[in-house]
Structure 1
C-alpha cells in the first residue's frame, strides 16, 4: 500500500525554498525555519509569492515530488512534475471507457449521493434536539429523497445526461438544507448557495480552499496508478482541466471537505474575522486561518475508516489512492464494476 507521505504547505509570503543535500529547506528573512528530507516528502504546495530555487525544482522532479503553485487565496496556478509515467494499456482502456462511461458514472454518483446523505444523517444525530420542528422535518425529508435517488440511480439504465441530471438534483437537495447544519454564532457565516470564481462569502471561501487541496490529492492519486488525470467520465474533457481527478473527488467531497468545513465553523475554530473581503467582493481566508485549515486538513487525513469493499481500515488520506486503484483494476477488467467509497 502507498505510504502516506507528507505534503508540505508553504503559506508565508516572502519565504525562500532551497535544496540542501537531500533536504528541502525553508528560509524566512534569511533564517532557516524548516527542513524536510526528500524521502519523507510526497508533494510541496506553495501559496502566494514564495521563491523556489531552480535546484529544488529539479530535485523535486527527479524524486517524484510534485510542486503545486497556488495564489494566496488558494486558486490553482501551476503544477510542476517530472516525466509522465503510466501504463499505456491502462490509459488506452481509460480512453475507450470514456466513450461509454455510464457504468462508472453511475457508481460515482451513487457514492456521492450516499455520502451527502451520510453527512445530513450525522448532523441529525448531533443536532436533532436543536432543530426547530419545521427544520427537522425538512432535513429528514431531504435524507429520504436522497435515499430514493440512490436507489433510482442504482437500478436505472439512464443515459449520461440523465445521470448528470440526477447528480444535479441530489446536489440541489443537499445544499437546500446546508445552512441548517451551521452552528456558528457569526451571522456572516451562513449558506446562501454555492458561489465560485470568486467565492462571495466565508463558507464558500472555505469550501473552495479545501476543494483545491482535495483536487490536488485526487490528481496525484490518478497519476500514481498510471491513469490520465485529464480524461474523465462524469466531467467533460476541457483543456487544462483534470477531469478524472474531479470525478474521483465527487464521492469524497461530502465527507473530506463539507464535513470538515462544518466542523471548523461549528467548533468556532474559524470565525468571521478569519476572512477578508477583497476588491470586487471576493472573500478569502486570512493567513493564520489558512494555517488552521491546513492543520485540520492534515489531521483529518490521518483518521481511519473502514473501506466497505476492501474490508480494511485505511487513513482518509489514502482513500483517493485506493479509489484510483479500484478504478484502474476495473478498467483492466479485474473488477466487474468500479466500487464507490462509502462513509461509515
Structure 2
C-alpha cells in the first residue's frame, strides 16, 4: 500500500483537515493500486488525456481508447499543430522549461505527455498550453493535477501547484492541487481502468454535452437512446459525415493517376492532364484500364482514401482499403453473433422486412400517376408477405418470403418505365440481358463497393453477415445492408434516369455472342455515377429519427447500429424504411 501522501503530511505540509483527507486518499489509492495490479499487465498504461475523458463522458473514453475511434475536430487539430511548434527547451530568466516530456506512472497506471516542465530554482511545476480563452474547466485543471501526480511518482517530490497558459487570452493561470482536485483525478483514473477491464460500453449521456462532440456521429446518442427508451432527451443535431462524399471517378481508357506535392495528377489517354488536391478526395472509383502509381496509391491510403476498382463492363473487381479501425473486440463480437443462428434469424427477419417495405413504398410512389392495376396487385401481394414474415422462424421460410416478394416486385417493375427501348420483363444478371438490368447490376455493384468501405471504416468485417451466408469472396455484411437500400437508391435512380431521358440507348453496348450481354459504355457509366453521387449526397428526412441527413450518412448509421446489435448494446436491428 502506498503511504506517499501520508509521509509528506507528517513532514508538515498543509493544514490538519487536508492532512486527514489525504491520509484517506492514500489508503484508497493503495487499495486501488493493488486491485489494478492484479488485473492489468505491466505495460497496460492508459494515456492520461484518454483516461480523463471520463470527466467529460465515460462513453467518449470507451469509444476513443477501447474501440480506437480516431475522430478529431478543428480544436484538436489546432492544438496538435501548436504542440509541434513548442517541442524545445526554453530559458526564461532563471526558469527552464523542458517541453513535450513523456512520463509513465506505475502507481497510477497512466502515461502522459506533459507540454512543459518548469524548473524555477529547484521548484518543479507542470505547465499545460491550451487553445482558446481562459476557462475554469474541470478537465483542464484535472489534467494538470494528474501530470503533477505523475511527476511526484517519478521524481519523489511534492508538487503543490502548476500553470495553464491560454493562447487566445495570453494569460498564465495558477492551479493549486488541493485534496478535492486530486480526488477527482483518482476517481477518473479508477473509472477509466474499470471501463477498460470490464469492456462494457457506458450508455450515452444524451445531454447538452453531446452537441458539438466530435464523436456524435460514432456514438449515436440520439439514435441509441431513442431505440432503447422510445424517446430522445436532447437532440445532438447529427449532421452528414462529409469524409465519404468527395469522389474522384476516373473512367477513361489508359488514364494514369500520379502524385506530386499533395495533389493527385490525372493524365487521360488523350494527353489531357488535370490536378486535384488530395484533401478534396475521400474515395476513388477507377474503371477499366485506369492505372495508379505506387506513390499515388500509398498517398491515398495514408489519407484514408478508399479505392474501388471496376471492370470496363461495370463489374466490381476489388478495392484498396486504408487501415482506419483496429477495434478487434467489435469484430470478435460480430463473429460470435453471426455464429448464433437464433440471433441471426432475428436480424435477417428485420432486413427482409425493410427490403419488402421499401419495395412496396417505391411501387406506391411511382404508381400514383400511372394507376397500373398490375402494380396495385403487386403492392397487395407484398403487403400480405410483410404480414406473413412476422411469424416465420426459419431461414428457409424467410428466404422464401424474400424470393417471392422480389419476383412479385420485378414483375411489376417494367410497368413503371414509360420510355420505349427499355423493355423489362424480369431480373437477369450474370450477364444482364437488357438495358434496365445492365443499369441495375451496375448500380448494385457500386453500392456494394461503397458499403464494403463503410463496413471497414466503422470497424466491421464486410465479409461476415447475419443474413447472407459467408462464402469465399462474398461481402455478406455489405449485402445484408444493401437489401433494404436496393429499391430506394438504385431502383429509383434507374427509373428516374430512364423516364427523365437522362440516359439514352446510345449509352449501352451489346455483346451478342457467345451469349447476349448488355452493359453501360463509358458515357453511360459516367452519367450513372454523376446521378448516383448526386442522389447519395441529397438530404432526406430519416423516417425513425426525424433529422435530415444524406443517404450516405444513413448507410453509415445503419451499419453502426448493426454493430451495436453485435456488441449487445442494442437488442434488435431496425431497418431503414423510406416514407
- Is the 2:325–2:458 contact (alpha carbons within 8 Å) kept by the matching residues of 1? no
**What is the Cα deviation at residue 308 of structure 1?**
2.2
Moved more, 22-31 or 318-327: 22-31
Q: Secondary structure at the match of 1:252?
A: helix
Q: Which residue of 1 aligns with 2:489?
A: 256
Q: Which residue of 2 aligns with 1:141?
A: 377
TM-score w.r.t. structure 2 length? 0.56
Q: 1: CA distance between counterparts of 2:523 and 2:377?
A: 39
Q: 2: CA distance between counterparts of 1:23 and 1:60?
A: 10
Q: Which residue of 1 aligns with 2:368?
A: 125
**What is the Cα deviation at residue 275 of structure 1?**
1.0
Q: Secondary structure at the match of 2:309?
A: strand
**Counterparts in 2 of 1:234 and 1:59: CA distance versus 1, 3 Å:** same
**Counterparts in 2 of 1:257 and 1:169: CA distance versus 1, 3 Å:** same
Q: Which residue of 1 aligns with 2:124?
A: none
**What is the Cα deviation at residue 273 of structure 1?**
2.3
Q: Which residue of 2 aligns with 1:133?
A: none
**Counterparts in 2 of 1:240 and 1:184: CA distance versus 1, 3 Å:** same
The answer to whether the aligner puts 1:49 opposite 2:289 as a matched pair is yes
Q: Which residue of 1 aligns with 2:541?
A: 306
Q: Residues 170-218 of structure 1: CA distance to partner in whole angstroms, max 9, x if unpaired?
A: 10110111111111122xx111222212111111111111111100111
Q: Which residue of 2 aligns with 1:20?
A: 260
**What is the Cα deviation at residue 67 of structure 1?**
1.7
**What is the Cα deviation at residue 166 of structure 1?**
0.8
Q: Secondary structure at the match of 1:251?
A: helix
Q: Secondary structure at the match of 1:177?
A: helix
Runs (5+) with no aligned partner, structure 1: 129-135
Q: 2: CA distance between counterparts of 1:124 and 1:62?
A: 48
Figure out how many residues of one structure are paired with residues of the other and give that number.
334
**What is the Cα deviation at residue 284 of structure 1?**
1.2
Q: Which residue of 2 aligns with 1:81?
A: 321
Off by >4 Å, runs of 4+ in structure 1:
29-32
Q: 2: CA distance between counterparts of 1:169 and 1:236?
A: 19
Q: 2: CA distance between counterparts of 1:257 and 1:58?
A: 32
Alignment counterpart, residue 115 of structure 1, candidates 358, 361, 370: 358
The answer to whether the aligner puts 1:268 opposite 2:501 as a matched pair is yes
Runs (5+) with no aligned partner, structure 2: 1-216, 218-240
**What is the Cα deviation at residue 47 of structure 1?**
0.7
**What is the Cα deviation at residue 94 of structure 1?**
1.2
Q: Secondary structure at the match of 1:125?
A: coil
Q: 2: CA distance between counterparts of 1:84 and 1:9?
A: 22
Alignment counterpart, residue 277 of structure 1, candidates 491, 510, 519: 510
Q: Residues 202-254 of structure 1: CA distance to partner in whole angstroms, max 9, x if unpaired?
A: 11111111111100111111112111100012211111111100111100000
Larger Rg: 2
Q: 1: CA distance between counterparts of 2:352 and 2:531?
A: 27
Q: Secondary structure at the match of 1:126?
A: coil
TM-score w.r.t. structure 1 length? 0.93
Q: 1: CA distance between counterparts of 2:385 and 2:290?
A: 46
**What is the Cα deviation at residue 84 of structure 1?**
6.6
- Is the 1:60–1:81 contact (alpha carbons within 8 Å) kept by the matching residues of 2? no
Q: 2: CA distance between counterparts of 1:62 and 1:274?
A: 36
**What is the Cα deviation at residue 30 of structure 1?**
7.3
**What is the Cα deviation at residue 65 of structure 1?**
1.1
**What is the Cα deviation at residue 334 of structure 1?**
2.1
**Counterparts in 2 of 1:260 and 1:29: CA distance versus 1, 3 Å:** closer
Q: Secondary structure at the match of 1:239?
A: coil
Structure with larger RCO (C-alpha < 8 A, sep 6+): 1
Q: Secondary structure at the match of 1:68?
A: strand
Q: Which residue of 2 aligns with 1:230?
A: 463
Q: 2: CA distance between counterparts of 1:157 and 1:182?
A: 34
Q: Which residue of 1 aligns with 2:403?
A: 168
**What is the Cα deviation at residue 32 of structure 1?**
5.1
Q: Which residue of 2 aligns with 1:131?
A: none
**What is the Cα deviation at residue 87 of structure 1?**
1.9
**RMSD of aligned residue pairs (Cα, Å):** 1.6
Q: Which residue of 2 aligns with 1:38?
A: 278
Q: 1: CA distance between counterparts of 2:419 and 2:270?
A: 40
Q: Secondary structure at the match of 1:127?
A: coil
Q: Which residue of 1 aligns with 2:523?
A: 288
Q: 2: CA distance between counterparts of 1:30 and 1:185?
A: 35
Q: Which residue of 2 aligns with 1:241?
A: 474
Moved more, 75-84 or 320-329: 75-84
Q: Which residue of 2 aligns with 1:66?
A: 306
- Is the 2:245–2:537 contact (alpha carbons within 8 Å) kept by the matching residues of 1? no
Q: Which residue of 2 aligns with 1:200?
A: 433
